[in-house]
Structure 1
Amino acid sequence: MPNPPRPRAAALIATATLLSASLAACGSDAHHDVDLPSQKLSWKDCPAPAESEGGGDAPSPLPGGAQWQCATMKAPLDWDKPKGDTIGIALIRARASGPESKRVGSLIFNFGGPGGSGVTSLPAFASDYAKLRTRYDLVSFDPRGVGRSAGVKCETDDQLDDYFQQDATPDDAAERKELVDNTKTFNTACEKNSGKVLPHVRTTDAARDMDLMRQVLGDDKLHYFGISYGTELGGVYAHLFPKHVGRAVFDGVVDPTQDSEQSSLGQAKGFQLALDNYAKDCTSKAEECPVGSTPQEVKDKIAKLLKDLDSDPIPGVFPRDLTQTAATNGIAQSLYSKDFWQYLTEGLQQAYEGDGKILMMLSDSMNGRNDDGRYSNIQAANVAINCADDKPRYTVKDIEEKLPEFRSASPLFGDYLAWGMIGCTDWAVDGAFDHPDVSAPGSAPILVVGNTGDPATPYEGARKMVEALGRGVGVELTYKGQGHGAYDSDSACVHRTVNAYLLDGTVPKEGTVCS
């Protein structure tokens, strides 16, 4: 079934532009005789992104004319066999704009997912980090299993069109069987096409890649900016390599104490809160809200739309129809950022008139589908990494027993997120843990930024991350706002506080609040 919106910021890139090639599973496998930390990277001007990274044009030059540079780092396929086969990890960087004497080092970004391509995300968001570039080389990468880094491949583009059209909230035994069968077919395709890499895409593997990256880039410490799932990756890195942590920021924070069920339930509450806030915002303005006169009416009309679409889809992006699942997916995507609420309003207006194009384009963005019908591998990688990490496996009976709690958390998203937990059933690789270990005694301070209105990684996760990192490590910064993450907001306070820490090493007072 279509994966529910697991924590990620990278998906926002496609949405920001949506309205205005298959790779080998393991890259080039080879036994190596060189010491990997001493390898020399061959930096060159960046090509256009591969289809697995989302396609599009090569990144535009930076202000001042500097070019983005790309390289490939060799890493062990299996970190338990570091002298065995290798895979290529795709990297991108922008050299520091300030004087070399002021340079701190490299600042490595992970924008979330899991499954988001850092090679495409960093140029898309680069203007947000221009201040940080004065003292850092900005660096990001496609984590293993993603894009050009041994990207996981499952189904073809045509098969994915069908896969994402299916009913992800079954109402009877026949629909439940179809959902289970389609999930099994998808998972079997992943094993057939990418079986060699599937056991090696865990978050712990990516964390070890980052420490190798630190060494290859010539840094004594890892300076890091993790967003959404990137906060979990950063926490796992800090646990494995606490003495190597430099200046690190976690933004849009995953709760590291939750298992996959608790995470999905938390998201149900988070997206419901975001929908409530959207409805209040729309109906509180001077002009008339075009999708309802009161917050409750807005939500009631959305619920009716979804109920009607369950039996009678409407035209979407030709030749596909907007189904109940695609509409739910599109609504969820629009709630990732307050900037996208306008698209939700426009999409709902159109849908009430029988035109599902905008909501379906939002859903396509969530699923990594380009307007030419080709998919990035964001969803395949998302499933592969989550299923390699998460130990629980759920049956239809398990989901049915949990539905009342999920529906109580969110009348709109509850069923959708509950049934999403069946995605790892019959997966080829066992999950590694119930939840990640991020305890990091001895680490340098890590700035943990929580957003009170975050739908995908609810605010409470920031405090849980601080506690799990351990005494003297996590330092919490609260942003009273909307959307997924805080640094990409318009808050001057957040920018000032984060920049002071990354640029000058100034640790803010615990409990600092920005609005």
Structure 2
Amino acid sequence: MTLRPRALAACAAFATLLASGALLAPSAAAEPVAGAAPKTAAAAASSAAAGSYTPAAPVWGSCSDDGLKEAKAQCAKVTVPLDYAHPGGTKIKIAVSRVLHTAKKYQGVMLVNPGGPGGSGLGLVTLGQYVPDGAGDGYDWIGFDPRGVGDSEPAVSCDPEFAGYDRPRYVPASPALSEAWFAKTNAYTDACAKKNGPILDHLTTVDSAKDMESIRKALGQKKINYYGFSYGTYLGQVYGTLYPTRLRRVVFDGTVDPRKIWYDANLDQDQPFDVNIDIWFGWIAEHDSTYHLGTTEKAVRSLFYRTEEKLYRDPVKGEGGDLGGSEWVDAFLYAGYYQSTWTDLAATFSGFVRKGDVKALEAAYLDASGYDPDNPKADNGYAVYLGVQCTDTKDWPQRWSTWERDSWRIFRTAPYETWANTWFNEPCRHWPAQQQKELKIDGSKVKSLLMVNETLDAATPYAGSLEVRKRFPKARLIAEPGGTTHAGSLYGNACVDDRIAAYLATGDLPKRRSGKRADVSCKPLPRPEPEASGTKTAKAKQAARAAARAGSPELSALRRAALPR
């Protein structure tokens, strides 16, 4: 899953529900105006002769997405090499979007990435309006769909039906179940090889970091600012390793551990997701007067797993197909990611168990899985997720016995997501593209970085932020002890968001403390309180939350990327 990103748990923006390097003077004179072309053709030729690639300036026009139109965003495409080792060869196009600065004091461009890998970032150009005190208004916010994603060309897709209904049981209690999953994942990777060309060999994070550098050049900027969520923090680490002097101000939210790329990163998620789902079960028990699912965490947990087993034996009919135990597990995945989803998902749990509400269960499953029978590229996020993770490193075990041993070991104490996560990533055993040597992350030359992480974040465990803080000596870390939300900045926590605003406004960072610890601690947002079901207020809030999720680039990206599972 790695990073099934909720891609961004940040767009605090889109809903009220929801979300570098060297410091330099934030004046308009400090950096060329965004969109300016390279100074001269001779300079461009000289640069190419030196082995670098300089794209043409983007030609900005209107966006096709209604939300981007409403935000007065502009869209364009930047042409880049498929293979940077051969800049004169085949070209691909990276879709970009921008919302121009409105403040007099220009701060340069702010590139944003929602995570995934595989999440679309075009919608994140609206993120600036959610930074407190207008601190985002001095930036040109630049969204982009990484190579292979969304509106970039070509967009990768293999089999849009892969996440369809009534899939095999996740836990392979018999050889037949393992074989069923092998048949499914092998068919998927075979389709990937057949339907996609050479781009599969060029989807690594290093490739995308080089695309970011091309975007910087195309915009005529000496430096960029960067805001990355989840997997986007690893993309920022790679960019900072390759181009440290090109970073100005940087924010990481939900930081990836660079020691765990990517097999170990996915194993490390399983136990924390189990912890978080149990915390949710306990919260439901505290509100038994609303949900009537049990008065103890143990009782709610038992009911959850009994229902899963019942659905494996006897799936229910949804509008699009049968919903079995695997669909049940996926339907509640977001409860382990974001506590803002707890009330809706508890209502879905209660509605199905007590009233047989299949419609809400199906909606939750479709929301989490990203499956859309009407979208011929519904698997785009998942295909790119695999395309990046499977080729970023040579460390994926090839023997199934290794996966099996590790998964059964973890499953004994973490049954919720372990096997679902295993099968989500198993295609990397036989992914049809060349694995690359992993880049060693070195942030020693990055002059400025602000990180945020809740300490019970399951998708990007807190240890990753401590490791990155060590590798980036100028970094500062804001921790939220006890918080279970993944990448949730700019979501209304003033202690966090005000510090981000101060940093983006002035470059000021908290004082760095000695030792392996956070520099600042903030209380996480309080857990939600459910409304009595059936009331007008509850129904209105549920509708608002559903609309927010539907419009949030972060959540939609998560769905498409099937984020860290």
TM range (shorter): 0.7 to 0.9
For the structure 1 residues 358 and 459, does the alpha-carbon distance in structure 2 shift closer, same or farther, using more than 3 Å as the test? farther
Aligned to 2:390: 387
Q: TM-score, normalised by structure 2?
A: 0.79
Distance 2:356 2:287 in 1: 26
Unaligned runs of 5+ in 1: 18-32, 49-56
- Partner SS, residue 90 of structure 1: strand
CA contact (8 A) 1:7 1:254 kept: no
Out of 87, 92, 108, the position equivalent to 2:92 is 87
Distance 2:2 2:317 in 1: 23
Aligned to 1:42: 59
Distance 1:308 1:13 in 2: 36
Distance 2:232 2:344 in 1: 26
CA contact (8 A) 1:75 1:86 kept: yes
CA displacement, residues 285-338 of structure 1 (integer Å, 9 cap, x when unaligned): 48444322111211111111122222221223x131212212211211333211
Runs of 4+ in 1 over 6 A off after TM superposition: 11-14
- Partner SS, residue 251 of structure 2: strand
Once structures 1 and 2 are overlaid, which stretch shifts more, 293-302 or 419-428?
419-428
CA displacement, residues 140-192 of structure 1 (integer Å, 9 cap, x when unaligned): 100001112234433444x3354873433332112211211211111111111
Aligned to 1:294: 296
Aligned to 1:77: 82
Is 1:241 the counterpart of 2:238? The answer is no
Deviation at 1:384, TM superposition (A): 1.2
* Aligned 1:57-456 pairs, distance under 5 A: 57-62=66-71, 67-99=72-104, 102-123=105-126, 125=127, 127-129=129-131, 131-157=134-160, 159-160=161-162, 162=164, 165-285=167-287, 287-316=289-318, 318-352=319-353, 353-370=355-372, 372=374, 375=378, 377-391=380-394, 392-433=396-437, 436-456=439-459
Distance 1:96 1:409 in 2: 50
For the structure 1 residues 189 and 180, does the alpha-carbon distance in structure 2 shift closer, same or farther, using more than 3 Å as the test? same
Once structures 1 and 2 are overlaid, which stretch shifts more, 331-340 or 390-399?
390-399
Aligned to 1:6: 3
CA contact (8 A) 1:152 1:197 kept: no
* Aligned sequence identity (%): 27
Deviation at 1:262, TM superposition (A): 2.0
Give me the CA root mean square deviation: 2.5
> Larger RCO: Structure 1 or Structure 2 (Cα < 8 Å, ≥ 6 residues apart)?
2
Is 1:496 the counterpart of 2:505? The answer is no
For the structure 1 residues 372 and 189, does the alpha-carbon distance in structure 2 shift closer, same or farther, using more than 3 Å as the test? closer
Deviation at 1:213, TM superposition (A): 1.0
Once structures 1 and 2 are overlaid, which stretch shifts more, 184-193 or 417-426?
417-426
Aligned to 2:516: none
Deviation at 1:253, TM superposition (A): 1.0
CA contact (8 A) 1:446 1:475 kept: yes
CA contact (8 A) 2:328 2:365 kept: yes
Distance 2:368 2:446 in 1: 35
CA displacement, residues 451-509 of structure 1 (integer Å, 9 cap, x when unaligned): 1231211222111221233xx23221112333111313321011111111122100112
- Give 1:82's aligned amino acid: P
- Partner SS, residue 430 of structure 2: coil
Out of 521, 544, 549, the position equivalent to 1:513 is 521
For the structure 1 residues 5 and 445, does the alpha-carbon distance in structure 2 shift closer, same or farther, using more than 3 Å as the test? closer
Once structures 1 and 2 are overlaid, which stretch shifts more, 165-174 or 215-224?
165-174
Once structures 1 and 2 are overlaid, which stretch shifts more, 287-296 or 173-182?
287-296
- Give 1:385's aligned amino acid: V
Deviation at 1:12, TM superposition (A): 6.8
Pairs aligned (count): 476
